[in-house]
Every structure is written in structure tokens, then in C-alpha cells.
């Protein structure tokens, strides 16, 4: 139980930091496109994580490469969506993974869940519906974000599966983060080259100080620390509970967007945030499956 609680706390920190990344990426999307943001974010991350390639195991390389590819697709689509919709809406649609994760788990893996988790999922989804209630119609940015949510749900389930299949020799979270950062940087470089663009080395000199600070924040805290913490935490908390914890992301995003961008929520949005928190509490009433791993 102590291991599960520590994992839950790690995922809460991850979700809090995620919530702050939406306004940061929104600031950057005015000067850099999605691939350029991903390239710089993970170039910075790899500078920190590169020494961890020493002593990499084959299993960590294989799983890290798969997870890195899924993460790249999720990030790319999310940032493309963010450039076409508001920070709040992007966060709320991303939060739908609380519903997408169990649906994919049932269809692809034959999973079954108790009523507590389904009730928690329903509360979280109702909360996001209230928070998402706006006058603006659904747009292309929302659709791209929804596609991102599907890939991220697969990422969450794949991360859990990587733990289940390596119980005898647990994967190290820091090594997995290093591989994922390498794949993210490599994939964004390849797509930039394919569309005839140069690597965005020169653009960094044109960034305003606040945008440059946002880029460093995304590269170090949101990419190095968070990717590592998510791998460590989720390997102690099952995929369904992880998705419900991640449902708090639009709550944190809304608070940050209000503080940084002036985007506000009314009573409907506040009620939605309360429902999401209630869903998180309810999700903890059912005993979790226990999984052990290392975070070296």
C-alpha cells in the first residue's frame, strides 16, 4: 500500500506539471510550430539524459523506443491541436483519456473493471463535460487533440504492459526516459527534414525571454522529471487509476491558464473540477493491483 501511495503522489505531481504546460506551449505555438517545439523540448531533455544511455539494457531500449513513438504521436497531435484551439479546451479534451483508457483496455486486452472505477470514470467525464461547456463549437483543433488522446491512452496501457512483462528484471524509469527523449528528438528531426525544413537552431535567438523560459521549463521539468516520474509512478498504479488521476490535468491547466493567459472558468467549470476530484477519490476505494519495479 505504501508503494501504491507513493506512486499515486508521483502521478499527482506529473499531472500538476502537465497542467502548467498547456499555457507554456500556447505561448510557444505563436512563434514555433508543433515539430519545432517538440524538437527543442527533447533536445534540451536529451542533454540532461544522455549519460543514462551508458549500461542500457536491451529490454529498456525496446520498450523505450515503442513508448517514445507513441508519445511523439500524442505530443505532435496535441500541439497541432493547441495551435488551433484554446489552452483550456485542449486540456479538457486531453483529459478524456479517463474514458478512452478503459475502452481500449476492454476492446484490445479483454479487461474488466469494478463498479467503483466505472463510477469514478463517469464522475470525471461529467466534470470534464461541465468544464468544457463553452459557446464555441467543436473545431479542428479539438479533433486533433482527441486523436492525441487516443495515442496517449495507448501509451498509458503500453507503459503498464511493459511493467507486467518485466517483473523479473524491472525496467529503470530514468533509462526509459532517456530512450523516449531520443526517439522524440529523432522523430521530430526526421519529419522536419521530410518537409524540407532545417533544424530550428536559429529560431531560439528570436524567442522573447518569457517564451525562452517556457521552452527551458518544458525541456527540463516537463520532459526530464515528468517522463521519469510517470514511468516510476504508473508502474505502481494500474492504468485505469492512472487515467483517473490524469483527469485532474484540466483542473490544473485551467488554474494556470487563468493565472498566465487570463482564460477563466465560471460556476459550471468549477463544478466540473469538483466532480473530477470526486472521481479521483472514489477511484481509490477499490484495492489496486500491486506491481513492483525500480526507479534507478
| Predicted confidence (pLDDT) per residue in 125-151, tens digit | 888 777 666 556 778 988 999 999 999
Residue 113 counted as domain residue: yes
Residue 238 counted as domain residue: yes
- Render pLDDT for 201-226 as a digit per residue (tens, 0 to 9): 877 788 888 888 899 999 999 999 99
pLDDT of residue 52: 93
Q: In the chain, pLDDT over 90 holds for what percent of residues?
A: 38
Q: How far is CA 174 from the centre of its chain?
A: 17
Range of 107's domain? 2-283
Residue 188 counted as domain residue: yes
Residue 44 counted as domain residue: yes
pLDDT of residue 288: 45
pLDDT of residue 291: 42
Residue 54 counted as domain residue: yes
Q: What angle do helix axes 87-94 and 249-261 make, rounded to 10 degrees?
A: 170
- Render pLDDT for 261-290 as a digit per residue (tens, 0 to 9): 666 667 777 787 778 778 767 766 655 444
Phi, psi of 101 (to 5 degrees): -60, -55
CA pair distance 211, 77, nearest whole angstrom = 21
Residue 25 counted as domain residue: yes
Residue 175 counted as domain residue: yes
- Render pLDDT for 11-63 as a digit per residue (tens, 0 to 9): 999 999 988 887 788 788 888 888 999 999 999 999 999 999 999 999 999 99
Among all chains, which residue has been given the C-alpha cell 481509490? Answer: 284
Cβ proximity of 285 and 114 under 8 Å = no
Residue 201 counted as domain residue: yes
- Which are the contacts of 176, defined by CB distance < 8 A and separation ≥ 6? 60, 63, 64, 67, 162, 227, 228, 231
pLDDT of residue 132: 66
CA pair distance 140, 128, nearest whole angstrom = 19
Cβ proximity of 261 and 87 under 8 Å = yes
Mean pLDDT, the chain, rounded, equals: 84
pLDDT of residue 134: 55
CA pair distance 115, 98, nearest whole angstrom = 15
Q: How far is CA 39 from the centre of its chain?
A: 17
The band of 82, judged by pLDDT with boundaries at 50, 70 and 90, is confident
Name the domain count of the chain: 1
Among all chains, which residue has been given the C-alpha cell 534540451? Answer: 44
Amino acid at each position: 500500500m505504501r508503494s501504491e501511495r507513493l506512486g499515486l503522489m508521483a502521478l499527482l505531481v506529473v499531472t500538476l506539471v502537465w497542467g502548467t504546460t498547456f499555457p507554456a506551449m500556447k505561448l510557444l505555438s505563436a512563434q514555433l510550430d508543433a515539430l519545432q517545439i517538440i524538437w527543442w523540448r527533447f533536445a534540451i531533455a536529451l542533454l540532461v539524459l544522455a549519460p543514462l544511455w551508458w549500461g542500457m539494457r536491451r529490454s529498456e531500449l525496446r520498450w523505450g523506443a515503442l513508448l517514445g513513438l507513441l508519445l511523439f504521436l500524442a505530443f505532435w497531435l496535441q500541439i497541432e491541436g493547441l495551435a488551433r484551439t484554446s489552452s483550456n479546451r485542449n486540456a479538457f479534451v486531453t483529459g478524456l483519456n479517463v474514458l478512452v483508457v478503459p475502452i481500449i483496455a476492454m476492446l484490445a486486452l479483454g479487461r474488466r473493471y469494478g463498479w467503483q472505477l466505472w463510477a469514478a470514470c463517469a464522475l470525471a467525464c461529467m466534470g470534464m463535460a461541465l468544464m468544457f461547456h463553452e459557446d464555441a463549437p467543436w473545431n479542428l483543433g479539438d479533433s486533433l487533440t482527441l486523436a492525441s488522446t487516443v495515442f496517449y491512452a495507448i501509451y498509458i496501457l503500453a507503459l503498464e504492459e511493459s511493467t507486467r512483462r518485466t517483473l523479473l528484471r524491472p525496467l529503470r524509469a530514468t533509462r526509459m526516459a532517456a530512450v523516449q527523449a531520443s526517439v522524440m528528438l529523432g522523430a521530430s528531426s526526421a519529419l522536419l527534414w521530410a518537409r524540407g525544413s532545417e533544424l530550428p537552431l536559429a529560431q531560439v535567438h528570436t524567442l522573447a525571454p518569457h517564451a525562452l523560459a517556457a521552452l527551458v521549463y518544458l525541456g527540463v521539468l516537463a520532459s526530464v522529471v515528468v517522463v521519469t516520474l510517470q514511468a516510476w509512478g504508473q508502474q505502481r498504479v494500474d492504468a485505469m487509476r492512472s487515467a483517473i488521476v490524469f483527469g485532474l490535468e484540466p483542473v490544473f491547466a485551467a488554474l494556470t491558464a487563468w493565472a498566465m493567459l487570463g482564460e477563466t472558468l465560471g460556476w459550471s467549470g468549477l463544478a466540473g473540477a469538483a466532480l473530477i476530484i470526486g472521481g479521483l477519490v472514489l477511484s481509490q476505494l477499490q484495492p489496486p493491483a500491486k506491481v513492483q519495479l525500480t526507479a534507478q
